[in-house]
Amino acid sequence: MAKKIIAIDGPASSGKSTTAKLVAKKLNFFYLDTGAMYRAITLKALEESVDVNDEKKLEKLVKDSVISFKNENGIQKILLDGKDVSEKIRKPLVDYNVSLVSMHKKVRKVLVEKQKEIGRKHNLVAEGRDTTTVVFPHAFKVYLDADLKERAKRRFLELKDKGIQTSLEEQMKEIAQRDKLDSEREASPLCLAKDAMVVDTTHLTIEEQVNRVIELYEDTSRVS
Ligand code: DC
């Protein structure tokens, strides 16, 4: 039987990760963090001194890598060639280089195929840039949005929580810049799939947005 797939996209700090994780947990679906896969390959490139601008070498690197996920006490871990890299992939150096690695079409092609394969085995909630358009075009699609100021506030508070000093103005600038880069890039830019349900989260709590996504999904599944 075809697997059930919910794909979630949206701009930076719209609450994609938190929502996708919680929706997956509530529905007992697999949570597929596609960004983590791009991060894992970026980490490997950095560790093996592969130039992040060299598409051919990166393609070989990604083809030769095994990326998998495992659940440890309810927390999802990502494994790269069998090693847990869940923490390492969140380091600033990876943050800094991942958008360069994810720009390469050949890298994307291999990772998209790996993601589709996971989608053939599990009911899942997938999160990431091209999940609603390229990876799972037949999924139930949700586009989470929120106004710029609210997204900057969320990011500011998240960083403050981690002990990182910044300002709301700085975050507004940075997120506006990321929106621009994300929407204008050539390979799989951020865009609203035409049959996606838009959920504006500006005035919603996390719990409300999770419930809203599930409600929309269940309404649609009842109809189809
Ligand atoms: O969601 P994130 O910050 O972990 O994503 C890391 C990077 O990977 C970010 O630059 C966007 C990119 N990405 C992508 O190009 N395609 C995806 N499906 C997921 C993430």
Q: Which of helix, strand or coil describes residue 73?
A: coil
Of the residues 98, 107, 125, which should be mutated to test ligand 1's pocket, given the most ligand atoms within 8 Å of the CB?
98
Q: Tally the domains of the chain.
A: 1
65 lines ligand 1 (CB under 6 A): no
Closest residue CA from atom 20 of ligand 1: 35
The confidence score (pLDDT) of residue 194 equals 84
| CATH value at residue 171 | 3.40.50.300
On the 0-12 / 13-18 / 19+ scale of CB atoms within 10 A, 99 is middle
Within-domain flag for 192 = yes
**pLDDT tens track, the chain, 224 positions:** 678 999 999 988 899 999 999 999 999 999 999 999 999 999 999 999 999 999 999 999 999 999 999 988 888 999 999 999 999 999 889 988 998 899 899 999 999 999 999 999 999 999 988 899 899 999 999 999 999 999 999 999 988 998 988 899 999 998 998 888 878 877 777 778 889 999 999 999 999 999 999 999 999 877 65
| 95 φψ region: left (φ > 0), alpha (ψ -120 to 50), beta (else) | alpha
| Rounded Cα gap, residues 66 and 9, in angstroms | 25
Closest residue CA from atom 8 of ligand 1: 35
Q: Which two tokens stand for residue 55?
A: 């598409």
Residue 8 φ/ψ, nearest 5 degrees? -120, 130
The confidence score (pLDDT) of residue 129 equals 81
Closest residue CA from atom 14 of ligand 1: 129
130 lines ligand 1 (CB under 6 A): yes
| Rounded Cα gap, residues 119 and 5, in angstroms | 7
Range of the domain at 152: 5-219
Ligand 1 atom with the smallest distance to the CA of 17 is 1
Within-domain flag for 224 = no
Ligand 1 centroid to Cα of residue 47, in Å, is: 19
**Which residues is 83 bridged to in the sheet?**
80
Give the closest residue to 101 by CA, choosing from 48, 49, 43, 47.
Answer: 43
Within-domain flag for 111 = yes
Tell me what percent of the residues of the chain surpass a pLDDT of 70: 98
Within-domain flag for 146 = yes
Closest residue CA from atom 5 of ligand 1: 35
The confidence score (pLDDT) of residue 74 equals 81
Per-residue pLDDT tens digits for 85-103: 999 999 889 988 998 899 8
The confidence score (pLDDT) of residue 223 equals 61
| Rounded Cα gap, residues 126 and 172, in angstroms | 27
The confidence score (pLDDT) of residue 224 equals 58
Q: Which two tokens stand for residue 122?
A: 């599990």
Within-domain flag for 24 = yes
